[in-house]
Amino acid sequence: MDTAILDRSIPEIAALVQRGEVSAEEVARAALARIEQRDGALNAFLTVQAEQALEAARALDARRARGEALGPLAGVPIGLKDALCTEGAPTTAGSKILTRAAAGAARAPDPARGYRPPYDATVVARLRAAGAILPGKCNMDELAMGSSNENSAFGPVKNPWDRARTPGGSSGGSAVAVAAGMTPGSLGSDTGGSIRQPASLTGVVGLKPTYGRVSRYGLIAFASSLDQIGPFAQDVKSAARLLEVIAGRDPRDATSLDAPVGAYEAACGRDVAGLRIGVPEEYFAKGLDEQVGAKVRGAIDGLRGLGCEIRPVHLPHTRYAVAAYYIVATAEASSNLARFDGVRFGLRVDGERGGKADLQALYGATRGEGFGREVKRRILLGTYVLSAGYYDAYYLRAQKVRTLIRRDFDEAFREVDLIAAPVSPTVAFRLGERVDDPLSMYLADVYTLPASMAGLPAISVPCATAPAPDGGPPLPVGLQLIGPALEEARLLRAAYAWEQISPVRALRAPLA
């Protein structure tokens, strides 16, 4: 089967299906063929719903044959991070806690035996209404906790640029689905960098919208004041179209913003001359790989060549972002994850105390077996910082620091329109390299956490490749652009302008 249709942009695929030049079923079959061909070596998909995807594609073709208008994602295959609820389809969030144990003492986790929600997440419902085809659910760090996708209960995702390396996390499967050409777009979630970091490490576009810009209804929560759903795509205009579909007020999410959805795709192509771009010195300090820093500065010079005005800015509280984030996020996680108790859904491991069945023992046995090491670490940290005697010393103080970080951005945006910075301090690191060093792993998100703490929109767009310090093939580097709240259109305008002159615009992962 010719699968080249998947190498086109999302607007191009949708237009071909809308005109009847290619059928939605042909596109769906191409995506399923690519997944079968490529995913065995990458582990990006946890489950594939082939029959459901083909059935939806045939229904779309029948609608077109009747002369009905099709939506803006007509026939476009979109991968879904497995933290997004899908009606009747397995949803595991990468965790054993949301699977029914297989028979036998080993209780081997199987994503096909995952929790099956009775409803779709709002973003999933909006994708379906727009005509998207949903071929499967993508692998992720367990319950979105991780920066390398090595915390998944179902094995790590491999980076298609070098399968010995991480694709980043926690939305690593969603990033790899796009980077490996298995789907033209996908959805992930970003709590502290979980869209932008894997986008940078795999060479695709990844956008974290303003907090509240996209409904979180149906997203399995990690940290409710930080989580935000956003798109991955091969190009900026495709990401813009995806955002237009999923953005907007949702009465089922009290945190979603009642603000008009911008003309994001139309913003791509508008002139950027005169845009003031701030460059924070705090993002180019010790810890940034020299080659990565040079490539990002080169991209900033490219924006200067397009007529943008480049100015230095200061974000002095950036250095506290990692510490504050890992207090706020773990505190919220310890509360959110209390619902996984072995009683209502997912894994159940019966426990006994004194020779009798005991509810507390049930909780302990289920959570002890169902949660992985990193999730347990964060639950314990979060419970500690919320405990009596420590709340003021840790959680309250972290929230005050969060306010200071937001004020830094407010002050900077009085002088500039956007901020440009690296996404990750390094290119993709090797699998296993940091799993026993949590602090080193947490520092992988040092440049993405501040925008998350401030609730601001930010995008990663490929800007170059750079050699890995430990050898191997050249690996992608992302340019991060950060904007004021609800200024996604401005972000996309600048990202698209850069993309048109990018030396890696047409570069794709060297798949065998």
d(CA 171, CA 95): 14
Q: Which fold has domain 4-100+111-264+276-319+403-501?
A: Amidase signature (AS) enzymes (3.90.1300)
Torsion of CA 142, 98, 54, 5, to 10 degrees: 0
Q: What is the mean pLDDT of the chain?
A: 95
What residues does each domain of the chain span? 4-100+111-264+276-319+403-501, 320-400
- Kindly give the interhelix angle for 24-38 and 10-19, rounded to the nearest 10 degrees: 140
Tokens for 135? 């071929």
Query: How far apart are the C-alpha atoms of 78 and 94, rounded to whole Å?
Result: 19
pLDDT for 471: 83
CB 94 within 8 A of CB 153: yes
**Angstrom distance (rounded) from CA 111 to CA 152:** 11
Q: Is 178 exposed, middle or buried (0-12, 13-18, 19+ CB in 10 A)?
A: buried
The two three-digit tokens of residue 508, written as one number: 């794709």
Q: Directed axis angle between helix 236-246 and helix 122-129, to 10°?
A: 110
Q: Which are the catalytic amino acids?
A: 81, 170, 194
Q: Are 164 and 430 in contact (CB under 8 A)?
A: yes
pLDDT digits (tens, 9 = 90+) for 366-404: 999 999 999 999 999 999 999 988 999 999 999 999 999
Question: pLDDT, tens digit, for every residue of 302-342?
Answer: 999 999 999 999 999 999 999 999 999 999 999 999 999 98
Let me know the angle formed at the C-alpha of 126 by 124 and 130, rounded to the nearest 5 degrees: 120
Hey, what are 351's tokens?
């426990």
Record the pTM.
0.96
**Angle of CA points 287, 424, 498, to nearest 5°:** 125
pLDDT digits (tens, 9 = 90+) for 191-216: 999 999 999 999 999 999 999 999 99
For the record, the structure tokens of 320 come out as 């506290």
**pLDDT tens-digit readout, 39-64:** 999 999 999 999 999 999 999 999 99
User: What's the pLDDT tens digit per position in 448-494?
Assistant: 999 999 999 999 999 999 999 888 889 999 999 999 999 999 999 99
